[in-house]
Copies of this chain bind each other. A is one copy, B any other.
Amino acid sequence: MDEPPERLTTKPSWLISQLAVYVRRLAFEGFAAAGARGYHYRILAALHEFGPASQAELGRRCRVDRSDVVAAVGELAGRGFVERTPDPGHGRRNRVTLTEDGLRQLRRMDEVLDRVQDDLLGPLSAEDRQTLTRLLGRVLAHHEPH
C-alpha cells in the first residue's frame, strides 16, 4: 500500500480519524451478523445501565440526536428488543424499556465489541493499552462538558 503524505500521518487528528474508520468497519461487520448497528448498541447499553428512560434522555446519554433516536428505537421495538410505551402522567413523553430479548441482543453485541477491542489493540502490551485508554479518556473528558 502506498504511503500517505507525512502531513497526515504525523497529525493526531489523522490518526484518530483513520483509526475510527477501522473501528467502525470492525464493529459494522460484527454487528451485521446480528442485524444491528452502532446506535442500537448505545441505546441498549444505556437502558441496561440506567433503566427505562425517555427518548430524549437516551439521546443525551448516547450522544445521538433526538430524531435519530426515534428511528433507532423504532427499529429496536420492531424486533422486540425494546418496548415504547407512553409515560403515564407525562402526556407527551415516552418510556422506553429493555426486554429480555433486548438484553440477549446486548450480550451478543458485547461479545462482538470485546473482540473488536482485542483486534484493535492487538499490537499493544497490556500496559500500553492502559496508557492509551487513559490518555484518550482524558482528552475526551476535557471536551465532553461542552
Contacts and interface: CB of A to CB of B under 8 A. Distances in A.
A2 B121 contact: no
Nearest to A25: B143
A10 B3 CA distance: 32
A143 B123 CA distance: 9
A144 B13 contact: no
A12 B84 CA distance: 31
Contact of A57 (B2, B48, B62, B132): B2
A27 interface: yes
Nearest to A18: B140
B136 A15 contact: yes
Nearest to A61: B2
